[in-house]
Amino acid sequence: MKSAVVVFPGSNCDRDCAAAIERSTGSKAEMVWHAESELPPGLDLIVLPGGFSYGDYLRCGAMAALSPVMGAVKQAADRGVAVLGICNGFQILCEAGMLPGALLRNAGLKYVCKAVALDLVNGQTRFTSGYGEQREAVMTVGNGEGNFFADEETLDRLEGEGRVVFRYRDNPNGSARGIAAIVNGPGNVLGIMPHPDRAYEPDLGSADGALLFQSVAAAAA
């Protein structure tokens, strides 16, 4: 699998993502600086990592969504390349209009950092096919603005089209309908608030995140 991790000013999970890809799939990821206007050719996966891009000024992800590289990311997504936005990356995807909804301040107005139990709602996406019969996963969250919000019509559409991929069992952020991850209509852009890049081997407390990267690799094979 050929993959790239985009590095924004303030990203702090970019190397975690690269390590997770390598340890999960055996392939290395290229690091791409946000100011680049082109991506490496032949990519199977583009990752927008967690962190605090541009210091979370204005709104989380709003400034990063205007970075030069995002034009190339959108073009790649339009061609069907898999794009994965984790935590701050999810915020960036929403701000860039690549996914619906928005990530608001957590309901408790506090930063939440802990392991969370998730229900796998849709195991048929290119990001989740490797989970097989498994319908539970454990990953970690670490955010202050992880509260997914969308209007009721949008939420109904996401549910009806099978675009809710993971749901919290114990909603730590107050997300609408407990949504932890969604996918776009074509199924190649996933935004997820919990961190699969922090759950790719048992020593980290869970290896459930590895299955996400392995699913993409299998789809690209």
Q: Which amino acid is at 184?
A: N
The predicted model scores a pTM of: 0.97
For position 84, which CATH number holds?
3.40.50.880
Is 195 designated active site?
yes
Is 87 designated active site?
yes
Domain housing 162: 3-220
Q: What's the structural domain count of the chain?
A: 1
Backbone angles phi, psi at 164, to 5 degrees: -85, 120
Beta bridge partners of 150: none
- 87-143 residue pLDDT tens: 999 999 999 999 999 999 999 999 999 999 999 999 999 999 999 999 999 999 999
pLDDT of amino acid 167: 98
Residue 191 pLDDT level (bands cut at 50, 70, 90): very high
pLDDT of amino acid 57: 87
Helix locations, the chain, DSSP H = 14-25, 69-78, 88-95, 152-160, 208-220
* Structural tokens at position 100: 């619906």
Rounded Cα gap, residues 141 and 155, in angstroms:
22
Q: Which of 17, 60, 87, 94 is catalytic?
A: 87
- 9-65 residue pLDDT tens: 999 999 999 999 999 999 999 999 999 999 999 999 999 999 999 998 889 999 999
